[in-house]
Each structure stands twice: as structure tokens, then as C-alpha cells.
Amino acid sequence: MNALAHKRILLGVTGGVAAYKSAELVRRLREHEAEVRVVMTRSASLFIGPQTLEALSGERVYCELFDPASPSAMPHIDLARWCDAVLIAPASAHLLAKLAHGLADDLLSTLCLAATAPIVVAPAMNREMWLAPSTQVNRAILLERGVRFLGPGEGEQACGETGPGRMLEVPEVLEGLAAVFEPALLSGVRVLVTAGPTREAIDPVRFLGNRSSGKMGYALAEAMREMGASVLLISGPVHLPAPRGVERVMVESAADMAAAVTSRVVDCEIFVATAAVADYRCRAPAGHKIRRTGELLTLELEPTPDILATVAARPAAPFTVGFAAETEGIDGGLADLAGRKLVAKGIDMIVANHVGEPGQGFESDDNELLVSWHAGERLLPRAPKTRLARQLVPIIAERFRAKGQAQGPGPTSRA
């Protein structure tokens, strides 16, 4: 399905090195049969020539608010009324600040004030600029008002630094934009997601933990919310902000996570366990800091409850999705391991990934997923976790509906 076909996209381009990506964006939008009109800020035209975007879009490129050569006396109003969505890519820190505070001193910021269509931004800036408190406050204000953020991604930046602030690549921007027009696949469905690592106390200052960053679970919670679900996220300790519109409960240990899930799972229709829950905890954590003696130290570990298997075994179990992080790859038995976990845990779907590979899995932004259910499987090739999350949700939604239909009464009718 091509959600962008025949959609009218107003592409705003602001000043920054990533402005070169706007040329590719226009080409791909047109390949998706979208109509594109481009508005550039003055500084954007220092990075890419309006003629390039004019040739690629097949339309006049708009730069000035008051342009005697313009066919329209009020281009800001006409363009705002014309479009089905405003996409600003790259969006500079300055543009975000102007949007957040309603400034209107050029064509792009003025038409954003006048637009009633959804506004989608793909920020691009130096990492310190992105992390600056004022940018983060502006981001929060815009999110609150319903502006959609695509990225930024992390990685090497034009300035030579590394961190968050890179504009997403064109395919990801297109997918994020398409999501604006896609039907809400999980409209009104109640979802519970676990994410992140757990910490098991050894003594008051030390714990057993793992390398889970929580990024996959958070991306999935956000994608499910975007597709209409009401999402509760039960998260172990991570440094990620709660996705917009998602209710979050922070927990520490496997036991805390199990208790939080048990108390909330009755209300949910889909349970997605992305958390890397500790399998063992100290049988008797020390009450005081353990002192160094130079002697061998043995910790006695006991198993933790399997949260996912417990949920799947409930009498009116929700649709259950497990994640399996394995050190075996696609060619090394990953599918077999995943298939065995699917059966052993009595769940509806398992999403397996290969960890321990450089650049994917734990602590990384990228992943490759093998999704298996009782009657089929799909491989989602390596991509950023946010993109995989958007690809995974329709698969979950489809299997959830199929199970509901097979069981008779509609899945959403279960209390």
C-alpha cells in the first residue's frame, strides 16, 4: 500500500548540511506519486540551490513571504490550505524554536502557523544544540501540540562530533510521513509493553544487570501509540524519555516488573515483552556493602519468575509477543531457538534477534528481526529500531485480529 500516493506534501527545507538530503526526498516523494511543493528558508538556499528542487519537484520553489514574482498574493495561506501535510526536513534548532513560540518572520514559519494539516519535522543539528535545554523544551512544547518528530538519529555529524542530531535517512523519513496517512491499525486496543533491563541487587550499591538499552521497546511503544493503541510501558532503568501519549511505570528488579505487570495485565489485549529480564537474582542480597577481603566470593542465585510465560498461561491471556535476544545468527539456528521459545512459553509470537554482532542488538540503534508465529514467519532486514518498530506493528496487529477472529468473540470485547 502506498499511503503517500496523491498526497500533497509541502516540504520545508531549513539551513543545514543535511539540506542536501531534501533533493533525494523530493525524488522519492514523487516516485511515491506524492505532489510536492518546496518552501526554502534563506539559509537553506546557501546549502542547496532552489533550481535543483524546482527541477526535481516540477514546481516553482517558494522562498520569500513577500515576492512580487509570486503568482499568489498570499503564498503562506495558499500553501497552508493546499497541503495534506507539512514536512520540514531538515528542521533546524532555529525553526523548532520559531514553531514552538509562534514566530512568523518568513514564509515557512508563517505558513506553519496558518496550516491545519499535520506538521512533521526531521530535526538535524549538532548534538549539543539538540541536547540544549531550550531545544528540548521546544521539542516538548511541539510534541504536546501534536507535531510529529522523525528522529533525529545518532551517529557521526557533519561537524565531526558523534551523537544525537543527525537527520534520519530518506527512507525513514518517508515511512514516518506515510504513517500520518495510514489507518490506525490498533485503534483503541490496550497494549502493555515491558522494556529495558532489570537490576538485581547484590548489596545496597551493586547489582546484576545487562546491556539492554530499552530502545526497541520504547520504539515499539511509540509506534503502537501512533497506530492508535492505548499503551502502558513498564520499563526497567533506562535514560530514555517516555514516548508521547504513552503511560510509563518505572521499575527496577525482575520482581518489581513482575508485580507491575501482574497488577495491570488484566486490562490489556496485547502484551509485548521486550524487556531483558534477569533470569537469576541473588538469593539473599547483602544488607550492607560487601567488603573486599581478597578471598573468592560466591553469590548464590535463584531463578526469577518468567513474566511472559506467566502472562501467557493466564486463563484469559492477551495476545502475547516475546522477544528473544540470541547470540546465534540467522544461519546459526536462530529460527530453531525462537521456535522453541514460542512453544515453551506458550506465546503467540516471538521476535528474535541476533545480539553480540557489532552494530546491532543491545545498545545499538539498529537491529535485524526474525518474527515467528505458529503458522508463519517474516524476516525484517537490518534497519534502525524505530523503523523496525513501524514494520512490526502491522504484523502484530494482523495476527492479533486473526487470533481474535479464530476465537470467536472480537478480541477487543474481552474485559
Annotated catalytic residues are: 159
Site for ligand CTP in 141-200 (CB under 6 A): 194
Site for ligand CTP in 339-368 (CB under 6 A): 341
Q: Are 242 and 193 in contact (CB under 8 A)?
A: no
Q: Which stretch binds ligand CTP (CB under 6 A): 12-20, 111-119, 301-309, 375-383?
A: 301-309
Residue 116 CA: distances (Å) to CA of 74, 84, 86: 16, 9, 9
Closest CB to ligand CTP among 231 and 273?
273
By the rule CB under 6 A, 306 interacts with ligand CTP: yes
Residue 42 CA: distances (Å) to CA of 45, 46, 62, 65, 99: 5, 7, 10, 11, 17
Could you tell me how far CA 389 lies from the centroid of its own chain? 6
Q: Which stretch binds ligand CTP (CB under 6 A): 67-75, 120-128, 240-248, 319-327?
A: 319-327
CA distance 123 to 371: 31
Closest separation between CB of residue 279 and ligand CTP, Å?
5
Using the rule CB under 6 A, which residue among 324, 334, 355, 371 binds ligand CTP? 324
CA distance 56 to 21: 12
Closest separation between CB of residue 325 and ligand CTP, Å?
5
Using the rule CB under 6 A, which residue among 26, 96, 307, 312 binds ligand CTP? 307
Closest CB to ligand CTP among 38 and 254?
254
CA distance 252 to 198: 6
By the rule CB under 6 A, 231 interacts with ligand CTP: no
Residue 115 CA: distances (Å) to CA of 39, 48, 132, 346: 14, 25, 28, 49
By the rule CB under 6 A, 370 interacts with ligand CTP: no
CA distance 269 to 403: 11
By the rule CB under 6 A, 135 interacts with ligand CTP: no
Closest CB to ligand CTP among 223 and 261?
261
Using the rule CB under 6 A, which residue among 111, 325, 395, 397 binds ligand CTP? 325
Closest CB to ligand CTP among 126 and 304?
304
Of 63, 57, 86, which Cα lies nearest the Cα of 75?
63
Residue 123 preceded by cis peptide, ω within 30: no
Q: Which residues neighbour 44 within 8 Å (Cβ) at sequence distance 6 or greater?
A: 13, 14, 15, 16, 19, 22
Q: Are 243 and 233 in contact (CB under 8 A)?
A: yes
Using the rule CB under 6 A, which residue among 124, 265, 275, 349 binds ligand CTP? 275
Closest separation between CB of residue 277 and ligand CTP, Å?
4
- Where does this chain bind ligand CTP (CB under 6 A)? 194, 254, 273, 275, 277, 279, 304, 306-308, 322-325, 341
